[in-house]
Chain A
């Protein structure tokens, strides 16, 4: 084991000293992940214009339209085109939207000076996002009072509203004391209106704090089984690209040992063939392990990629490098020269990558292609990573990709072992 470890440490030292190799293994996949993540929409829920919200106007009155217009004017919000409630909820659940604002039927009536029963505005947001919730509630309330403010500059509109309010008070079963208070208030407004000329000049005092649309917040629990940002899709793919680079890099380094003659020298020491392959495999495994950890840490730290399932992550961390280490040993023994191994290895790896979601995200593939992708270990690597990032896989769900990855690794190692024996003789 001492010799296996020494050999692996030597290979890692050589990797660290090879800046080009480091770039392709660590930096390029990071660029890939960030570039394609950004291209696909980045973190989705926040833009330079503020929190992204959808508005569903079910009232469809001039008041509700004024309210939507007021929301659109806010610098803190980016209002998306009106969606159906179902789609809006789904997008909030997946993190594409920060929240939705639903304007319920009766919003216009709730905007006048009358007793209000029930909710006029529904705000759908993840309850965990307390800061955004508070901010949104404030912005929505502010927008809803723009209607009331407007009445003070339009006396005719206010008179109509006062008439409707008086009728509503008369027909309500209010306590006599409350009724008296409201009637006094409405009477004062009528006096105020008499003093205002019909052109509306002279109005403009602050709006009375009697009513306004009631805002209710609805909890929309985010669905962990959906990616909440494009980076959660692009980073697993980027990690798999890094592993492909790693695999081919180590496969070529193993062939180089033969062509440079260092393998012959090593085999004249007590090192056995099995120890040699294990040492190479250990270096490849540790590099793969480190690449996954490093890229996920960067993704989480800088781009908000979740690591929701630690158990699944541990399983992925152990089986994905195992799979690609087995493939490395297989490809390294497919030929006698670097060129032969590189050609054969990349030819197979590119097909694996194309089929497995390295180029087109798995969730964007048509169903038949998703089925066909099962032959690619890249797919199972991505599935295992996504299982720990956003798919929220249970241990039972992780068992399939992990078992496939481990099996591919062991089969690769076994075939590599047989081929290396044949090459040696």
Chain B
């Protein structure tokens, strides 16, 4: 559905996007995960043709270059900022962006009504966006990206700065879109979101893609072993007889199969007062790949 090959964009000496290549399959939710400044948003802007690429090729839905207006008809972008007109109502914003994407008449009215329902704003449709909460504006922003029913949806950090209630609403909307078979490209620096929503994830840093695969495959390849953390009661008389490290209070044991290791320890007479198994996640993967955390 989306083919990107050797995409590059520089601002002076800064290489914002540096030879990025990936494919997004039809019906797939594809995540671009990376810290702020990794090049995710620039990649999206290149993808919608707002920015011209220094080099590389982009093909969307078999249409080719997104600098062609016809190609962009297949795209729906929800930018990082809500990017709405505060002095228009929610309904007017939807109607305006719908018209810009070629909708008119009855079809436009139907799609606007659908989008208002999706955003949960049908009862606030006549209110100016200025009066909406941040979460409501985010939901409306997503609705504006979807109002013309595009096959390819580009979501740029859609939950940044959103309250938990609106975040859940957004997740539910995105999951509904996944079920409806939409192709979604989702950028985020929240690894939990990528793990929850994305079929495949590309980990990006300094304009390059460091790793790309399904979440389990990334965890397996770059996540390392799980970590068992336990407090023991009573404290061991000879900590050197135990696997892992003992700091006088907590025992830490890395393990490929943590449950089997816990069973083995219990069988050897170790008594746990607390037990916590920390499985590897995308944060661990990013740390492994870059030596930094996602929030650094």
Chain A: residues with CB nearer than 8 A to chain B? 2-3, 6-7, 10, 13-14, 17-18, 260-272, 424-425
Contact = CB atoms under 8 A, between A and B. Distances in A.
A270 to B, nearest CB: 4
A265 B80 contact: no
Interface in B22-72: 45, 48-52, 69-70, 72
B77 A264 contact: yes
B272 to A, nearest CB: 52
A262 B72 contact: no
A264 B88 CA distance: 18
B70 A270 contact: yes
Interface stretch (B94-102, B186-194, B203-211): B94-102
Given A2-B99, A3-B99, A262-B84, A268 B51 contact: no
B73 interface: yes
A419 to B, nearest CB: 16
Given A13-B88, A14-B88, A260 B96 contact: no
B119 to A, nearest CB: 15
Looking at chain B's contact residues, the main secondary structure is: loop
18 contacts: A6-B99, A10-B85, A10-B96, A13-B88, A14-B87, A261-B81, A263-B50, A265-B79, A265-B97, A268-B49, A268-B72, A268-B76, A268-B77, A269-B73, A269-B97, A269-B100, A270-B73, A270-B101
The 6 closest A-B pairs by CB, nearest first: A261-B83, A270-B69, A268-B77, A268-B48, A261-B81, A269-B100
B253 interface: no
Contacts of B102: 270
B144 interface: yes
B201 interface: no
A272 B69 contact: yes
B83 to A, nearest CB: 3
A270 B100 contact: yes
Nearest to B73: A270
A253 to B, nearest CB: 10
Contacts of B83: 260-262, 264-265
A269 B49 CA distance: 10
A262 B102 CA distance: 17
Interface in B85-117: 85, 87-88, 92, 96-97, 99-102, 104
Interface of B: 45, 48-52, 69-70, 72-73, 75-77, 79-85, 87-88, 92, 96-97, 99-102, 104, 144-145, 148, 154
Contacts of A13: 88, 92
Contacts of B49: 267-268
A130 B269 CA distance: 123
Nearest to B83: A261
A273 to B, nearest CB: 10
Contacts of B50: 263-264, 267-268, 424
A7 B101 CA distance: 12
Most chain B CB neighbours (cut-off 10 Å) among A17, A266, A270: A270
Nearest to B77: A268
A7 B50 CA distance: 18
A337 to B, nearest CB: 15
Contacts of A271: 69, 100
A265 B143 CA distance: 12
A346 to B, nearest CB: 23
A424 B49 CA distance: 10
A263 B97 CA distance: 11
A10 B84 CA distance: 12
Contacts of A267: 48-50, 72
A269 B72 contact: yes
Given A10-B88, A270-B73, A271-B69, A425 B51 contact: yes
Nearest to B100: A269
